[in-house]
Structure 1
């Protein structure tokens, strides 16, 4: 087993959508936990990484290269209908705010909930946490003929504020940088896929969700390791 960390920094406001809204408040709500901390589901992040890797593989010049790296991608991320022998070699955890921040505030919220049970008004609630980390953006469609807003087109979405850092824990079945050539190729593919991931969340094709991602082990940043980056595209 080996552990890595995928770090995500938001360069623009971002919506980790959960598929619904809050009546009378917002049409599109962000995914958040019971303490009000927004997060991106690991399953969604895994899908985004897999998509970026597939896009990179598709532009390799030689068929033999594409074939080899597609096999590496299938081994890393799995394929639909995978069996125990062909399931994904990677487990992607939810992308959350830093642990120390969440633990400190969660402890305070738990104390405030105890105060509330004793009849006191809480000084801090999960709604306060959510509102401190997000804001609501509103937009409307414009009629191309007269330049006026289209009737009944006003929509609101909650967005996570830019420059917030998120981290996702990645668990691999083997020690990638010390294993076989295929293991090292999986690490190389993860590194370039991480660098290629620049947009996430709802509205990522309309200006939201601009991010910078990096991959780390316990001591180094893999996405700055040129040996791993340059390994991509070679054929074993």
Structure 2
């Protein structure tokens, strides 16, 4: 078993929706009870799985195969996952959570989840244009909340079966993962994934693709 520390940096605005809308916001972002956005583990695992499949396809399964990937991510015959991923939170999340909890209790109504969420996000508006008339289509105005570019999330990935093959799949899938969330064709969703303790891995696992 090996714990790997990961940093995700948003290189452009990120729309991590969670299927809910509010009175004012049509499409909100995932956040905790105090308004701090986070990157859900389940969603990141899915993205990492897709990224690994893309690597396997690019290199004709010469580096690792789809079967190897499926086994690691629990998609194989036994259904047992060899990788565990935690939610990714803002830097110093635990301390900030404690601080916001204190302020929320001491000054009720002054610090709200909405006001805290506004610190890390922005609202983007869009509408549909009628190609024939060049005017906006009635009722097409839509807004969505986006996480600001430059936001950093931190978390851990645990390789339960810590072998060189699984290390290779994880490391290369992280390097290849560059997009997440919705509205990627609207300039959103570029991310960078950094394996903070990459030096703990044998460097030969990267040489096949450099």
TM-score of the superposition, structure 1-length normalised? 0.80
Tell me the residue number matched to 1:71.
Answer: 67
Tell me the residue number matched to 1:229.
Answer: 206
Larger radius of gyration: 1
Match of 1:107 among 98, 103, 127: 98
Q: Does the Cα contact within 8 Å between 1:112 and 1:125 map onto a contact in 2?
A: no
Q: Does the Cα contact within 8 Å between 2:104 and 2:110 map onto a contact in 1?
A: no
Q: Does the Cα contact within 8 Å between 1:112 and 1:122 map onto a contact in 2?
A: no
Tell me the residue number matched to 1:44.
Answer: 43
Tell me the residue number matched to 2:184.
Answer: 204
Deviations, residues 135-155 of structure 1 (Å, cap 9, x unaligned)? 111001122223222221110
- The answer on 1:189 being equivalent to 2:169 is yes
Taking the TM superposition and a 5 Å limit, the aligned residue runs for 1:144-163 are 144-163=131-150
- Once superposed, what is the RMSD of the aligned Cα atoms? 2.3
Q: Does the Cα contact within 8 Å between 1:185 and 1:231 map onto a contact in 2?
A: no
Output the CA distance in 2 between the equivalents of 1:47 and 1:143.
36
| Secondary structure in structure 2 of the residue aligned to 1:220 | helix
Output the CA distance in 1 between the equivalents of 2:183 and 2:124.
12
Q: Does the Cα contact within 8 Å between 1:189 and 1:232 map onto a contact in 2?
A: no
Identify if the C-alpha distance between structure 1 residues 4 and 130 changes in structure 2 by more than 3 Å, giving closer, same or farther: same
| Secondary structure in structure 1 of the residue aligned to 2:154 | strand
Tell me the residue number matched to 1:180.
Answer: none
Q: Does the Cα contact within 8 Å between 1:18 and 1:31 map onto a contact in 2?
A: yes
TM-score of the superposition, structure 2-length normalised? 0.89
Identify if the C-alpha distance between structure 1 residues 205 and 51 changes in structure 2 by more than 3 Å, giving closer, same or farther: farther
Output the CA distance in 2 between the equivalents of 1:228 and 1:216.
16
Q: Does the Cα contact within 8 Å between 1:115 and 1:122 map onto a contact in 2?
A: no
Output the CA distance in 1 between the equivalents of 2:174 and 2:205.
12
| Secondary structure in structure 1 of the residue aligned to 2:55 | helix
Match of 1:220 among 177, 199, 209: 199
Unaligned runs of 5+ in 2: none
- The answer on 1:90 being equivalent to 2:116 is no
1:123: how far off?
Answer: 4.3
| Secondary structure in structure 2 of the residue aligned to 1:3 | strand
| Secondary structure in structure 2 of the residue aligned to 1:168 | strand
| Secondary structure in structure 1 of the residue aligned to 2:193 | strand
Greater helix share, structure number: 1
